[in-house]
């Protein structure tokens, strides 16, 4: 009887370990830090002001609008669990929009 109880206890431990969630601790910590900083960003801030608050962007895209005004998108991971980024849109070097976007899975 004792042997069966020990075997059952061991099986429960193995099952519990197998069900644990593997989280990239560095990415999780980075997302938490970014989430704390993103709330300090305001419309109209410059690229330099945002970089001073957030640090360099994790992803960056740039293009020119039809009238020659620069458009930049900076992206930061802000929710590792829900797989969400915060995207900061700059138009003419100033924050125009801040939005949350889901991660895009690689095809």
- What is residue 71's three-state secondary structure? strand
* Sequence-ordered list of residues with C-beta below 8 angstroms from that of 92, at least 6 positions apart, any chain: 69, 70
> Please, are residues 89 and 83 in contact by the beta-carbon 8 Å criterion?
no
Give the chain's domains with CATH numbers. 24-102 (3.30.1450.10)
> Please, are residues 68 and 49 in contact by the beta-carbon 8 Å criterion?
no
> Please, are residues 28 and 83 in contact by the beta-carbon 8 Å criterion?
no
Q: How confident is the model at residue 90 (pLDDT cuts 50, 70, 90)?
A: very high
How confident is the model at residue 82, as a pLDDT?
A: 87
In angstroms, the CA 60 to CA 75 distance is: 6
How confident is the model at residue 41, as a pLDDT?
A: 96
Number of other CB atoms surrounding residue 32 within 10 Å: 13
Condensed to tens digits (0 to 9), the pLDDT of residues 14-50 reads: 455 455 455 688 888 889 999 999 999 999 999 999 9
How confident is the model at residue 95, as a pLDDT?
A: 98
pTM exceeds cut of 0.75: no
In angstroms, the CA 102 to CA 85 distance is: 6
Condensed to tens digits (0 to 9), the pLDDT of residues 48-89 reads: 999 999 999 999 999 999 999 999 999 999 998 888 999 999
DSSP secondary structure letters along 44-63: T-BHHHHHHHH-S-SEEEEE
């Amino acid at each position: 009887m004792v042997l069966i109880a020990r075997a059952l206890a061991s099986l429960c431990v193995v099952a519990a370990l197998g069900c644990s969630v593997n989280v990239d601790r560095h990415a999780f910590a980075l997302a938490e830090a970014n989430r704390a900083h993103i709330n300090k960003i305001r419309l109209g801030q410059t690229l330099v002001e945002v970089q001073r608050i957030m640090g360099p962007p994790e992803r960056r895209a740039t293009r020119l609008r039809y009238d020659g005004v620069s458009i930049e998108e900076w992206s930061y991971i802000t929710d590792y669990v829900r797989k969400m980024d915060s995207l900061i849109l700059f138009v003419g070097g100033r924050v125009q929009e801040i939005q949350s976007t889901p991660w895009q899975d690689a095809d």
